[in-house]
């Protein structure tokens, strides 16, 4: 298995788009991931079978200042092809993303949302240290609630916004 950064070709974009639309419950518009991939290509990591080159998994994320006081990473989408689940691939993609956000962007925290009924995703993220902070009522188009999860990275993540000085 080979982990890589998005290679910024139309062909790979199409493969990513197919994987996401086939296996994520939320029907994302193609423009959502086009925006993520165009703006933060370095935060799209792919996993391919080395022998067949088949796309097995993808994680799409971004990093932005949050309320001008913290750097916040956000994991937008994560999918592993059903044939290859349960082998630790998703955990590896999340760990690589977390380390990259810390190294390249000095993030203070990393957040994401997942459906409250998505036990697999909750187990995966909580085993990596993410914690539930909020329940978002009817967050998804299918009317399911979401949990927002957070991984605090620095002390800043544990301080109230009012006590932090703006990032210049
Ligand atoms: C959720 C998903 C990404 C997990 O991928 P994966 O490669 O199978 O996950 P991993 O093998 O890395 O598993 C990591 C941990 O989560 C647990 N886990 C993963 N899927 C699980 C499931 N369906 N039920 C219970 N636990 C599960 C594993 O047991 C493992 O825990 P362990 O290390 O204690 O054994 C995959 O099922 C998927 O693509 N689902 C559809 C899309 C989705 O729900 N994405 C997340 C939305 S935010």
Which atom, in ligand 1's list, is nearest to the CA of 57? Answer: 39
Q: Which atom of ligand 1 is nearest to the CA of 87?
A: 11
Residue 80 domain-assigned? yes
CA 150 – CA 106 distance, rounded (Å): 16
Nearest CA to ligand 1 atom 36: 80
Beta-strand pair 146-152/109-115 = antiparallel
Answer yes or no: is 105 within a domain.
yes
168 inside domain: no
Question: Is residue 18, in this structure, part of any structural domain at all?
Answer: yes
Is residue 136 included in any domain, yes or no?
Answer: yes
CA dihedral 164, 132, 72, 44 (to 10 degrees): 170
Query: Does residue 130 belong to any structural domain of this protein?
Result: yes
State residue 24's pLDDT score. Answer: 83
Q: Which of 90, 97, 122 is the best mutation target for the ligand 1 pocket, counting ligand atoms within 8 Å of the beta carbon and taking the most?
A: 90
Show the domain range for 92: 2-163
Beta bridge partners of 46: 4, 58
Q: What is the mean pLDDT of each run of 10 residues along the chain (168 residues)?
A: 96 95 83 92 98 97 95 97 97 98 98 96 98 96 94 95 89
Residue nearest to atom 29 of ligand 1 (CA): 86
How far is the centre of ligand 1, averaged over its atoms, from the C-alpha of 160 (Å)? 32
φ, ψ dihedrals at 39, nearest 5°: -85, -40
By alpha-carbon position, which residue is closest to atom 48 of ligand 1? Answer: 114
Does residue 54 sit within a domain?
yes
Give percent helix, percent strand, percent coil of the chain, each to the nearest 5: 40, 30, 30
pLDDT at 83: 96
Which residues line ligand 1 at a C-beta cut-off of 6 Å?
23-24, 78-80, 85-91, 114, 118-121, 123-124, 127
CATH of the domain at 151: 3.40.630.30
Residue 141 lies in a domain: yes
Domain count along the chain: 1
> Measuring CA to CA, which residue among 130, 129, 134, 98 is closest to residue 116?
134
The CA–CA distances, whole Å, from 94 to 11, 58, 59, 111, 168 equal 24, 10, 7, 12, 29
């Amino acid at each position: 298995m080979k982990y890589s950064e998005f290679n910024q070709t139309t062909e790979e974009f199409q493969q990513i788009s197919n994987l996401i639309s086939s296996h994520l419950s939320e029907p994302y518009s193609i423009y959502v991931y086009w925006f993520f991939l165009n703006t933060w290509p370095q935060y799209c990591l792919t996993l391919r079978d080395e022998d067949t080159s088949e796309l097995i998994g993808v994680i799409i994320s971004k990093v932005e200042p949050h309320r001008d006081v913290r750097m916040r990473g956000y994991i937008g989408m994560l999918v592993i092809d059903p044939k290859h689940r349960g082998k630790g691939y998703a955990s590896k993609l999340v760990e690589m993303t977390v380390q990259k956000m810390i190294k390249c962007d000095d993030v203070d925290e990393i957040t994401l949302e997942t459906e409250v009924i998505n036990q697999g995703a909750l187990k995966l993220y909580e085993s990596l240290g993410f914690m539930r902070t909020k329940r978002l009522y009817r967050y998804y188009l299918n009317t399911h609630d979401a949990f927002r999860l957070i991984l605090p990275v620095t002390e800043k993540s544990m301080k109230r916004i009012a006590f932090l000085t703006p990032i210049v």
